[in-house]
Structures are given as C-alpha cells and as structure tokens.
Amino acid sequence: MAEKSPDMGGKIGYVLLGATKAEGGTRSVSYHPGGETDLPFTGMKAWEGSVPLVAFEICDDPGYWSPIVTSYTGDLVSDTPEWARTAEKQYGADLVRLYLTSTKRRGFDDFPSITKVMEGVLSGTGLPLVVEGSNEPAIDSEVFQRCGEAGQGERLLLGTAEAGRYRSVAAAAMAYNHSVVAQSPIDINLAKQLNILLREIGLKADHMMIDPYTGSLGYGFEYSYSVMERIRYAALKGDTDLAMPMITSATDSLSVKEVRDAGPAVRDDIAVAWEFYAALSSAVAGSSIVCVRHPKTVPLLKQAFRELWAGKMPGEA
C-alpha cells in the first residue's frame, strides 16, 4: 500500500445527511460522508472514510431542465414526487437533489407551493435530500425558510451559499438543524474564506459541505479537478477550515456543444459518457457526493464505486 506522506495528519470531518426515525426524521437511510485520512481510494488503514455517494438531480419546473433528460424521461418529470421516487427505486441513487427551478419564473411569489413540493418529495422518496433553493436574492429568505421548515428533522443539505449571499440559507439551516452547500468559484482560498464566514455566523463545520464548482469535461473541468485535489490535500495536511467533505456537480455536462448537438441515436450515450467521466474523476479527486442528471449515469457510477471501494457500502452493516 502507498506510503502516507509524513505531513498528512488531518482527517475530513463528518456531516450527517438525512435522519432516520431513530435520528428524529423519516428517512429510510442516513449518511455520514467524511472521515477520510488519505487520498481518495487509496490508504493503508482499512479504508477509513466513506464511499462516494451518487445524487440524482431533479427539479420542480422541468421547463428549466435539459431537453435530453426530459425527452428521455417523459411525463414523469412533471410529477416531482414520483420523479424522486423513481430516482430511488429505479435508478438506484443514494440521494435526491431537488432544484426549486419554479422560483426562477419572473416575479415568483407562490411561496406555499414550495412547502407543497418539499412535502411531496419527502413523501415520494425515503432518501436524504439536497435542496437547491432560489436563484434570486430578493426571495432567498422566504424560500430557504420554507425549505428548512418543511424538512425539519430530516437533516437536509441546503444550497447554495456563496460569498456575499449566504445569510438566508445559513439562517434557515441553523434554525432547523440542516447542513449547507458552500460554493466558491474554483479557488481554494475563496473556498476557505467562505467556510470561515459561515463559521463566524454560527454554522458548525459538521454542517457544511464544500462545492468547489465543477466545470464540465472540456469546459474547465481541469481547473475544478485540481482545486478538488488541492482542497483535499490541504485538509489531509491539517487545514481544518477545508476539512469538510465535498459535493460536486458538473451541471453543464448536458448543455455543452458536444452533447447538445449529438445525433438522436447516440445523444443519450454521449450525455452519460460526459457525466460519468467527469463524476468519476471528481470522486478520484476527492469528492464525497457526485451529482448527475441522466438516469443511466447513476447505475454506472454506483457500480464503479462498488468496484473501487474496499470498505463498506451505504446500507451495509
């Protein structure tokens, strides 16, 4: 086995995602990403840490979603709770990541609908949830409040906090005991700075995950890959401000030219390949949760992680 560098004494902290009945929630499973003491998929000591998790991304207004996914999936995308259930039962995802794209509509003010969507998805799937709230600072506070409240006790992962726009999401997370996605633009120092800002307003380190921002393959992925490696390595060397597990999503994968312009016969396969290559490489660089949008990418990633991971898989005793 590889020699651990002598200067590696750090450990990635744990974050609790989802809460089972025993933990005060209603999820059928909960996860504890974190705990790694060595480079991804290596290590000398009995595979400390956690296998990367696969999150399937859905949304509550498919008008804002990739036509590749909506045409592959069909009518299901208009039934958000059922879409979430399918992600769990049929695609085999570990988590569901819900984007509240309905809030992108101009002049959105139907806040009760958020509570309704949240309740629907929570009853549709027993998996832990990642919830992406509004895209509009003016309605952040109301949207995140609704998400947090609807998911009370469920240990959601709420996103997304950015420098200059993190108070609403952090406030909702702290009020209802959820965790936060902290996103910075492909820069290790900005990632660290944001974590410190969040800590200073009272969010605990075990309630944060780092999103270093992931460019899609061929469109900046190399920068994201290296920033992930740097963050992971800095944490292993003992920088506790960077020792949170990472969540990554190459969200542009399905809209880059190579995928968008592919012929109908190969379009789905190309979409899956672009998602798979970026997501697996992100896990190799240190990401604990990788997120994808094409249903066919999920089982491929799960199979790859099962093959590469010598430790326990989620759900295994």
Partner 1 sequence: MALKALDIYKLLPKKNCKECGDPTCLTFAMKLASGKGDVEKCPYLDLNAKNILGASTRPPIQLVKIGVGERRFAVGEEFVVFRHEKTFYHPPGIMFQVSDLWPAETIESVTRRVGSEHFVRVGTDLTFSGVAITNESGDPDVFAKAVGVVEATGTHIPEVLMASDPAVQEEGLKKCGNFRPLIYSATRDTYKPMCALARKFGSPLVVTAKDPQTLGEMTKLCNAEGITDLLLDLSFPSLRDYLPAATEIRQKSISRSAPELGYPIFLDTTRYQMQDTALVLGIDKYAGVIVTPALPPASSVAALTLRQNIYTDPQKPIQMNPGIYPVGTPGKDSPVLLTVNFSLTYFTVQGYLESSRVPCYMFIVDTEGLSVLTAVAAGKLNETLVRDSIKKFDLENLVSHRRLIIPGYASPLSGKIEDETGWKVQVGPRDAAELGDYLVKEWKI
Residues in contact with partner 1 by CB under 8 A are 1-3, 5, 39-43, 215, 217-223, 225-227, 229-230, 233, 256-258, 260-261, 266, 269-270, 272-274, 276-278, 280-281, 284-285, 300, 303-304, 307-310
Nearer to partner 1, 261 or 316 (CB): 261
Residues 6+ apart with CB under 8 A from 293: 56, 57, 65, 66, 69, 251, 253, 254, 275
Nearer to partner 1, 205 or 304 (CB): 304
Residues 6+ apart with CB under 8 A from 51: 305, 306, 309, 311, 312, 313, 314
Amino acid letter, 311: G
Nearer to partner 1, 113 or 226 (CB): 226
CA dist 47 and 35 (Å) reads 10
Q: How far is the CB of 277 from partner 1 (least distance, A)?
A: 5
Q: How far is the CB of 292 from partner 1 (least distance, A)?
A: 14
CA dist 233 and 33 (Å) reads 17
- Rg for the chain (alpha carbons), in Å? 18
Q: How far is the CB of 303 from partner 1 (least distance, A)?
A: 7
Q: How far is the CB of 190 from partner 1 (least distance, A)?
A: 14
**CA-wise closest residue to 115 among 149, 140, 141, 139:** 149
Nearer to partner 1, 24 or 63 (CB): 63
Q: How far is the CB of 68 from partner 1 (least distance, A)?
A: 13
Nearer to partner 1, 131 or 188 (CB): 188
Q: How far is the CB of 153 from partner 1 (least distance, A)?
A: 37
Query: 95 pairs with which residues across the strands?
Result: 55
Q: How far is the CB of 46 from partner 1 (least distance, A)?
A: 12
Nearer to partner 1, 80 or 251 (CB): 251
Nearer to partner 1, 14 or 219 (CB): 219
Q: How far is the CB of 269 from partner 1 (least distance, A)?
A: 3
Nearer to partner 1, 91 or 274 (CB): 274
**CA-wise closest residue to 223 among 183, 275, 188, 271:** 188
